[in-house]
Structure 1
Amino acid sequence: MSQVVIDLNADLGEGFGRWRLTDDEQLLSVVTSANVACGFHAGDAATMRRVCELAATRGVRIGAQVSYRDLAGFGRRAMDVPADELTAEVAYQIGALEVFARAAGTRVAYVKPHGALYNRIVRDEEQAAAVVDGVLLAGGRLPVLGLPGSRFLDVADRAGLPTVTEAFADRAYTDEGTLVPRARVGAVVTAPDEVVARSLGLARHGTVDSLSGQRVEVRARSLCLHGDTPGAVALAREVRARLEAAQVDVRAFA
């Protein structure tokens, strides 16, 4: 039986000016891929530059975490953005991060939508296509991260973009395999033992228990740990240690 391989990603650079939300330096010592905020839901030029430099030094892959233009709502509010505008804004965010990645001696290696945009394109093909067009407009055929079975990954695959399925150790799932909306009680899993157990189940078996207790198949190549979760660094370290102890090969997706 071949060894299980999993990528660990986290949302980083989620600050603005003097305000910092994520412990980027410590998390970059644990994760293999960094989803860097590109200024639309969080982040600014100085933050993007700093995180890219840290990631490059530590050999962590840099991903553009693109979002709706929603600093006040942290990109988690539902928005209706015309497709052509969304395409341009996605390309703009990738391009901004690419400048700092190249200056640090590396490059943007993938794209991951954030928050409300991420959840919208699970089912909305028009918005999904706008994001894909934005990735293409930015140049190259960057891999994209998304929820298994989402319209986004379907559209990206048809457009010739490499797709990477993603699971969340610290988010609750519906019986259909989608994420429980954050407004619902229990949507975010905070108990460390539960997060660790879910990480092992997702990595080794491709399954997780839904909020209602149903076993749901979620086969993913990348596992996300949110950087804004209380105790995120200690939790990420424990998850990685337990995965490696279970003979899971933790490394960036090819």
Structure 2
Amino acid sequence: MNTRQIFVAIGAVSVLALAQTALAQEPMHSYEKNFLTNYDLLQPRAGVKGQPGDLVYVAPNAMKRLAAYKAVMVDQPEIHFSPDSKIKGMKPDDQKALAEALRDALSGRLAAGGYSVSQQPGPGVLYLRIGLTDLMVAKKKRGLLGYTPVGFVVKAGSDALRETLSKVDFIEMTFQAELVDSVSNDVLGAIVAPRGTRKGDGQKETRIDIEEFDQNMRAWGNRLRCQLDNAKLPEDKQTNCADDSGNATRYDDKK
């Protein structure tokens, strides 16, 4: 996936995707089922133009209700490691850098579209819960990559994420997210988006580098922005929010 074929593949969220209802073309790896409110409501959605498919839930009348929201609370993402990962955790600074980079990417996509990022619940405010689960991590083959100097100053934003991913590779991960009314707690939509492939019989292991991870974060954010935009448009003017390439064309040069 190149830099113009964004997967920011949350969406940020295809939680309310208008994608085809066909089954995803490729089998997904197993994923944790302890983050979302209800996994039984998820339905497979095919990817667009060769892009990965996801599992999505869209509540009845969700698109109509979305038109009333003016702001989004973006919670700090939870990071859950796969029980199969040789590395079961990260240093606190690295885990915080990963979580904040994901939250910043989603918040930034919304702000670029004119949506307020709220710090408090209230009428007209959505609450976005985010989890990066099933994280399978492998250390890079370099010396002293786990050493943190005394007095080390934590970097911010993309620099912090790049520093974190200079130490490890991501083999597999699952983006999970839920859109909730911040007052009633009604779940309006949810997504499960597994990415990456561990090495198995007849399979080649894939590793998610900084560029692909950044693309994924931006694509998830673009999907959420697209859904909110669609809710304010007549049906014949709405776009397919599961088309990450199309989202990138519309949004990424108009920050």
Q: TM-score, normalised by structure 2?
A: 0.28
Higher CA-based Rg: 2
Choose between structure 1 and 2: higher helix proportion: 1
